[in-house]
Amino acid sequence: MTDFKRSRSALKGLALVVFCIATFAGVFGLVTMAPTVIVDKMLERDIKTQAHLWETRVITRLAAGKSVFENRWLTEIDKEFLKNITLSSDIYRFALFTREGRVFWSSNEDEIGRTISASFFADIIATGEDYYTHMAVRPSEVDDFDLHAVAREEGGLREVAEIFTPVVRNGEVLGAIEFFTDITDIRNTFILRVRIGLGVICATVLGLVTAIVLVIRRANRVAVRRLNAQTVTERELLEAQLQMAREVRLLGELNEWLQSSRSLDELFDMVGRFMTHILPVCEGSVYVYSNSRDVLDGWASWNGG
């Protein structure tokens, strides 16, 4: 029984260790992976909002407004304004598209005349929906990198967000504006902050869970000790009651034998044998006064008495 209890206790301890390892692994994975997903969703929503603001600014400053996406005619003032956008904002490249997906103006002149053949332009942008994606690129692919990136290290990749916002008039899509922005530094900063926040929260929760588990284990141990003590007491009481019942039974049998004995020798022989059972750990003898009342005669003994 002792070996069984030890094995059971060892299994419980092993299960607790496995549970703790699994919990810490899950928390580590959560703190490592979740911030990236959370921050990317936050940045996507924020960049879409900023893109619509920039779309409004661009269109309101163009001489022809939204009509420029139909006639594709830009004044010199329009071109100067568009060039200055990349110098005075976190947008490092942007382009104006016709409804067919052809670039008719871009901050990167090499892009002018390019036509997008990807299906998303017709499937998403042409229906009036935004299209957002972000990718990792080499710093050399970021126009005016020193101007738009806080970091000056050329070695690592940069995280770049690209978003197309459709230009709509009276429910009709006239074209689209494509914005590029370097989100590496703000993304890394937010990921670090979210990781720290999640780490603090997870550490607090783990601390509370650990404290609760320890309190429960301690309470269980106290309850088990009390139960064991109660079991021992009940077992001792039961053994005492069984011993008493056995002694009563033996005394009853002795009484029957005494009444059926035919001589004193037989009687005292029975007494010696029964006392061995009734008092198994005690030595003893029976003495009887002689007829003269001045001498004690030994008639029976047990356990070497």
CB 99 within 8 A of CB 173: yes
Q: What tens digit of pLDDT does each residue of 39-91 get?
A: 899 999 999 999 999 999 999 999 999 999 999 889 999 999 998 888 888 88
With residues binned 3-state (H G I as helix, E B as strand, rest as coil), the percentages for the chain, rounded to 5, are 60, 20, 20
Q: What is the pLDDT of residue 14?
A: 65
**Looking at the predicted structure, is the pLDDT value of residue 161 above 90?**
yes
Q: What tens digit of pLDDT does each residue of 167-213 get?
A: 999 989 999 999 999 998 889 998 889 888 888 888 888 788 888 88
The pairing of beta strand 91-98 with beta strand 103-106: antiparallel
288 versus 24: the higher-pLDDT residue is 288
**Looking at the predicted structure, is the pLDDT value of residue 33 above 70?**
yes
CB atoms within 10 A of CB 105: 19
Q: What is the pLDDT of residue 29?
A: 64
Nearest to 125 by CA among 133, 113, 137: 133
Average pLDDT, the chain: 83
Percent of the chain's residues with pLDDT above 70 = 84
The SS3 of residue 42 is helix
For 123-144, b/e burial (b = at least 16 CB within 10 A) is ebbbeeebbbebeebebeebee
Q: What is the pLDDT of residue 43?
A: 92
Indicate yes or no: pTM above 0.75: no
29 versus 111: the higher-pLDDT residue is 111
- Count how many residues are written for the chain: 305
